[in-house]
């Protein structure tokens, strides 16, 4: 009986690995921008380099915030694809608003990679950009 139950559990785990891969991504992360395109002059968005990031996760809600400017990006983790996370943020800067969507694919609970697409507009002029980055957790 115990052997049969173990085989059943192992079979279910093999069929739906994403559903049982519930990780908590909360902690301090180092984000390294590896590629960047900025079509907005003087905005200073997405400069190549390292950025410290805080991630707070509670159940399926996730919040990501760059530690210096502390602008929140919020999202929800889909339990069916918990490694793929999308967060969004909107904030005002330089007389206009930036709207940004960030997609992250976590390889495990300590590493991930992703990309961002963003646009800035003051209601008259619009520009934008995108960047790719790597993430490494530096502290829980």
pLDDT single digits (tens) 11-60: 555 444 444 456 899 999 999 999 999 999 877 777 889 999 999 999 99
Give the count of domains, the chain: 1
pLDDT single digits (tens) 67-119: 888 899 999 999 999 999 999 999 998 899 999 999 999 999 999 999 999 99
Domain encompassing residue 87: 2-139
Whether 2 shows a pLDDT value over 60: the answer reads: no
Position 22 scores a pLDDT of 61
Closest alpha carbon to 62 in 83, 38, 92, 35: 83
Q: What share of the chain has pLDDT > 90, as a percent? A: 68
The CATH number that applies at residue 85 is: 2.40.128.120
Side-chain-side CA neighbours of 32 within 13 Å: the count stands at 8
pTM, 2 dp: 0.81
C-alpha span between 136 and 34 (Å, rounded):
13
Position 30 scores a pLDDT of 97
Position 48 scores a pLDDT of 86
CA distances from 127 to 77, 87, 101, 107, 116 (A): 29, 20, 15, 32, 14
Position 4 scores a pLDDT of 52
Contact partners, residue 81, CB within 8 Å, separation at least 6: 18
């Amino acid at each position: 009986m115990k052997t049969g139950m173990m085989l059943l559990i192992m079979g279910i785990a093999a069929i739906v690995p994403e559903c049982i891969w519930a990780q908590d991504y909360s902690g301090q992360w180092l984000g390294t921008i590896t590629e960047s395109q900025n079509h907005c002059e003087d905005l200073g968005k997405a400069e190549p380099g390292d950025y410290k990031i805080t991630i707070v996760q509670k159940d399926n809600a996730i919040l990501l915030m760059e530690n210096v400017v502390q602008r929140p990006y919020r999202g929800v983790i889909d339990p069916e694809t918990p490694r793929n996370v999308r967060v969004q943020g909107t904030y005002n800067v330089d007389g206009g608003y930036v709207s940004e969507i960030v997609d992250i694919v976590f390889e495990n609970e300590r590493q991930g990679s992703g990309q961002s697409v963003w646009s800035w507009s003051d209601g008259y002029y619009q520009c934008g950009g995108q960047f790719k980055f790597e993430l490494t957790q530096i502290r829980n």
